[in-house]
Structure 1
């Protein structure tokens, strides 16, 4: 390039810089922008039966639940262009898309940390649809835990690095990890087994109204609870979730499209994930405050862009792999003060007619344990007015994923 070309290039560069400097800068992005607020809706839900043993494969169960959800929404499988599930899901997106007859898929995502992923699957679909990456999203979870392998029975299993250097020998089962947190909660704040029974009893009473629940028709008395065998003291048999086979799914579309679907839309009002600083998973014993878990982090983000707060929640679906997670989550999501979660469960507060009915399908303790996805579908039923344990006039619902692991949460409204 000659000198003349260099001079012209320099002039062009200077002109461009001058133009740029005189162009007004865009306003700074708002922290916690409510761009996702009510922009999408769940319009279809589906599930298979729940049981200790189902003959179908996990792939077959997943497809059945997804097709049922699409039928519920009145949307053909060929219009599905977004998929979301868990990293622990055995059936991948390729197999699901082929098997259900999906169209070109333009968004797919998986979230880790087991039960902490449930609400995130819906959140990721909502984000993709709100930003134009897709138009019809399906989230699902399929498990054969009741009839499949149970790795936690072998306490000699080697843990991956770095966990093998940071845990006491034999501390492998989630029940043992949560038992230690539960014991500390009891020691510091006076929680008792009576409080844990309140949680188990509420879930079982709601399951008694739900014909699809594994524990339907099997009432739980205080005596039965108190005299049951230990799983990991202070957690007894009924403080632990079920082991079940089954699958669930839901369909997410834009709010505009939702108005034309077969079912009344349930809007995704707010969504959040939470991974606290210096978190150690369910063995969070080395933090300054081990009882402040991921729910506290997720809650701050969740309520930040919401138009309502904890006092405005009509019904809640709170992750219940173990009963002590409920009082911890009640505190984390702001329904009561620090150390008050156990007392919150008293006087039937968690049952129909109580101050915060929760897990109205029976939850993981009494309906089915499918990594918390049944809490999402039950939240949708409540806001549709079709739950077997319906809260009259319910229009707002909190759904949470696993406490103790990196987690997620949803605020749903009708």
Structure 2
């Protein structure tokens, strides 16, 4: 069963309220989420000896440890590339647990992404760096925001497969349908129709407003420990069956327009091959898919890269509801937490406690941000 052999599991999940103006510091959000995850697991702060977060997180591990009452740390790590880091935080934690470097590792992410720095505003200033030089090939041509970068890929995807922008609406409608019945979702009680999707204003053609994830203030955290230890805690373990990171050849950050076919997500393919190989599972074994949905076209492309359907067939796949997809509402409907809230939903589905619970869930696929070096998880029920 790959590098982990089911030896590590997610034993606790915790989150703050998801809002548009938290009124609190990002450190306060991080500490609240961490404490909630520990309480969910039935562990004390002193039980934690490792922490993992994103390079983009403003709350350092030692600061969160002090704020949450955590003592000595023997392991701490960070993962780069924005939303692509989500599942990789759990990978790093699981590696530490499996290697005996740490016994209980907390993964966290917290930001005021709506009331503070808004990623959707795009690139306004960039210090000289290798990453900045790479962006220099696209920024002077007006490609300044994530939406504009993905719009190039989306246009190519539509052209390759002879599709119209309305195909993206199936993803938006599915996410908001689940969000409408999830009390924690920002869009609780507010589903949308295909007609409303098609009528929403253009952001960067062919992307409309309802093709773009929201902006959120909030925090999310998990506790990763050994599967054996997790069995003694408050909830059934969400076993880490497989975990992987992936960067494709010629990878750039959401502006990989010069590496071959721009209408695909080869970094997702790298992760998919590793997850299927290490787990022995196949798409037909997956009961719920939690796919990173910062923009609707990338959900379709991921379904194709992971082998759930043929190239160009993902719109029909989603429309036919062949796989429960982003049952919390995703980042389109619940909250934009850089994908961390999707991992929490996977755990709830395995526990049987999700707002939109799917029957008899044994295997959940979770993916992280695409268009950047990315990561993925296969989580399974214990036993």
TM-score range, shorter chain: over 0.9
Aligned mates of 1:358, 1:222 — CA distance in 2: 17
Q: Aligned pair in 2 of structure 1 residues 356, 143: CA closer, same or farther (>3 Å)?
A: same
Displacement after TM superposition at 1:158 (Å): 4.9
Aligned mates of 1:292, 1:73 — CA distance in 2: 36
Aligned pairs for 1:20-59 (under 5 A) are 34-59=2-27
More displaced stretch, 83-92 vs 226-235: 226-235
Asked whether the equivalents of residues 319 and 364 of structure 1 are also in contact (C-alpha less than 8 Å), the reply is yes
Matching residue of 1:400: 367
Aligned mates of 1:227, 1:409 — CA distance in 2: 33
Matching residue of 1:339: 312
Aligned mates of 2:123, 2:241 — CA distance in 1: 42
Matching residue of 2:34: 66
Matching residue of 1:104: 72
Asked whether the equivalents of residues 103 and 226 of structure 2 are also in contact (C-alpha less than 8 Å), the reply is yes
Matching residue of 1:115: 83
Q: Output the aligned Cα RMSD.
A: 1.5
TM-score normalized by structure 1? 0.88
- The answer for unaligned runs of 5 or more in structure 2 is none
Matching residue of 1:176: 148
Aligned pairs for 1:134-145 (under 5 A) are 134-145=102-113
Asked whether the equivalents of residues 58 and 90 of structure 1 are also in contact (C-alpha less than 8 Å), the reply is yes
Residue 30 of structure 2 aligns to a residue in which SS? Answer: helix
Rg larger in 1 or in 2?
Answer: 1
Matching residue of 1:80: 48
Asked whether the equivalents of residues 207 and 213 of structure 1 are also in contact (C-alpha less than 8 Å), the reply is yes
Residue by residue over 1:49-97, the C-alpha shift from the partner in whole angstroms, topping out at 9 and shown as x without a partner, is: 1111111111111111110110000010101001001000010011011
Aligned mates of 2:36, 2:119 — CA distance in 1: 31
Residue by residue over 1:236-289, the C-alpha shift from the partner in whole angstroms, topping out at 9 and shown as x without a partner, is: 110000111011101011011111011111100000000111112211111222
Residue by residue over 1:91-113, the C-alpha shift from the partner in whole angstroms, topping out at 9 and shown as x without a partner, is: 00110111112132111110011
Number of equivalenced pairs? 376
Asked whether the equivalents of residues 155 and 171 of structure 1 are also in contact (C-alpha less than 8 Å), the reply is no
Pairing partner for 1:368 from 335, 340, 350 = 335
Pairing partner for 2:193 from 193, 218, 221 = 221
1:327 and 2:300 aligned: yes
Aligned pairs for 1:238-277 (under 5 A) are 238-277=210-249
Matching residue of 2:377: 410
Q: Aligned pair in 2 of structure 1 residues 174, 104: CA closer, same or farther (>3 Å)?
A: same
Aligned mates of 1:77, 1:234 — CA distance in 2: 47
Aligned mates of 1:158, 1:125 — CA distance in 2: 31
Moved over 3 A (4+): 151-161
Q: Aligned pair in 2 of structure 1 residues 391, 152: CA closer, same or farther (>3 Å)?
A: closer
TM-score normalized by structure 2? 0.95
Asked whether the equivalents of residues 328 and 341 of structure 1 are also in contact (C-alpha less than 8 Å), the reply is yes
